Amino acid sequence: MQNEKLITVTNIIILITVIMYIIQINMPNGSLYLGLNMFFLEGLWYQPLSTMFAHGGVGHILMNMFVLFQFGNMIEKYRGVKALLVLYFIGGIITSLLSFYFMQAIGMNNNLVGASGAICVLLGYVALIDTYQRKGIITWILIISVAPVLIGLPVAWYAHLIGLAVGFVMGKFFK
């Protein structure tokens, strides 16, 4: 049996995300300061990054960290730490900014929180390089983007789709 590493960069990102979530829920207006919203335009320049560590609840963070654990560790193992870090953080920030500007363009003034956009970058990357998984990944992202909206849950579906596209485009540079 192969011995898998417990300490990976992905698992460190997960730990930091959990710590940041604990900080977020214990500080006054934590999600407003750490999420991505109109305060970004007023000088909170760190929000496109910090939004990836803020979450809307325990279920939200658990689901995101579960998917990050699976796909982050896979990319880290097969493509390396550098690819993971560039995809997750650069792709995540690009996805955050594009999602924010999409919200502005359609007149939406929401507070964007969660790692979903950055995780969808990873999924977009995997969908590009692994054609066997492509249809399943795209279908899964469409389901997690549309189904919650249909039942009235506040999901940033656009961040999922933008992240998928960003990951696909970034994958062209890593392929």
Q: Would you list the domain boundaries of the chain?
A: 9-174
Low-confidence ranges of the chain (pLDDT < 70): 1-4, 175
Looking at residue 91, what is its pLDDT?
98
How many CA atoms are closer than 13 Å to the CA of 95, on its beta-carbon side? 38
Q: Is 116 a catalytic residue?
A: yes
pTM of the predicted model as reported, rounded to 2 decimal places: 0.94
Q: 9-174 domain in CATH 1.10.3720.10?
A: no
The string of pLDDT tens digits covering residues 35-79 is 999 999 999 999 999 999 999 999 999 999 999 999 999 999 999
- Catalytic, 160? Answer yes
Residue of 31, 99, 116, 145 with catalytic role: 116
